[in-house]
Amino acid sequence: MTKDRYTRLKAIKEFGYDINWDDLKKLHTGIVGIGGLGCVSAEMAVRCGIGKLSLFDFDNVDIVNLNRNMFKEGDIGQPKVDVASQILKEINPDVEIQCFNTDIMAPGFESKFEYEIKQMDVILTGLDNIPAREYLNAKCVLFKIPYIDAGASRSGLSGYVHPIIPYKTACAKCLSSITIDLPDEKGESCVASLPSTMAILASIQIQEMLKYLLKFGKMVDYVMYHMITGQFLNYTTLRDVNCPICGNKTQRDKKDVKPKVTQKELEDIIEKSNKNG
């Protein structure tokens, strides 16, 4: 057998999974948010041999970002997507990398953003604020683009990964009443962050991406990781028929229909996590 840079990845097939690793070369992943999560996900996607990667972030590298993976002191002041793209190209020149140094919600960018995401097989999110997360959720549902949402709590001590297949699984808005405490638009974009928590969440995100793109294994529904207790908690989510984004339109205007809360126990855990954090 001839060796290539994917030999060890292709060897997984020998353990009973019918995976054609070379399929990844034909596929396109978008990563929205090149922060503590997105950097790690991007590097792993490139090392695994994704065909094309599109990166979105409007921010520049700041000294406070250096506790996370990827960026170096010399990168301070440079756009995150440009620095990441350079590093990723050096890691694997076979991957086509496209960068967008812009806020995905910038008014002039909407039609371009829609055009770009429609080309993607899957999107990974590492966003640090609720408005951008809701915007992306609405666009992915509208165009039926599968995406794997992930985020860390403000304490940096817990987080979640939630793969979303529009109209098949619960979208981010279906679960908006139980989301973890991402900062809102008025708050600081980030309060605390642990690179280890981010790397764990990014790793789960990439595992789910690989299973989805290469069609093997069973995807998680919603997983929470809590660093203080070391627990991974798996939840089953349900689509909300009254969801304003993916719900049944005929039900949408019935004001007397209460949203179905399916994740009460998650709320309790998140609350506890926040108190501890």
Active site residues: 190
Per-residue contact string for residues 163-202; x = within reach of Zn ion by CB under 5 A = --------x-xx----------------------------
Answer whether 79's CB lies under 8 Å from 48's CB.
no
Tokens 């279906």 -> residue:
174
Select from 263, 133, 127, 151 the least CA-distant residue to 205.
Answer: 151
Q: Which residue is nearest to Zn ion (CB)?
A: 243
For position 136 contacting Zn ion by CB under 5 A, the verdict is no
Backbone angles phi, psi at 233, to 5 degrees: -120, 125
CB of 186 vs Zn ion, minimal distance in Å: 25
The side-by-side arrangement of strands in the sheet containing 222-226 is: 96-100, 52-56, 28-32, 122-125, 147-152, 158-164, 222-226, 231-235
CB of 171 vs Zn ion, minimal distance in Å: 3
**CB-nearer residue toward Zn ion: 3 or 249:** 249
Select from 50, 36, 80, 39 the least CA-distant residue to 62.
Answer: 80
Answer whether 175's CB lies under 8 Å from 237's CB.
yes
Per-residue contact string for residues 239-258; x = within reach of Zn ion by CB under 5 A = ----x-xx------------
Per-residue contact string for residues 202-241; x = within reach of Zn ion by CB under 5 A = ----------------------------------------
Residues lying near Zn ion in the complex (CB under 5 A) are found at 171, 173-174, 243, 245-246
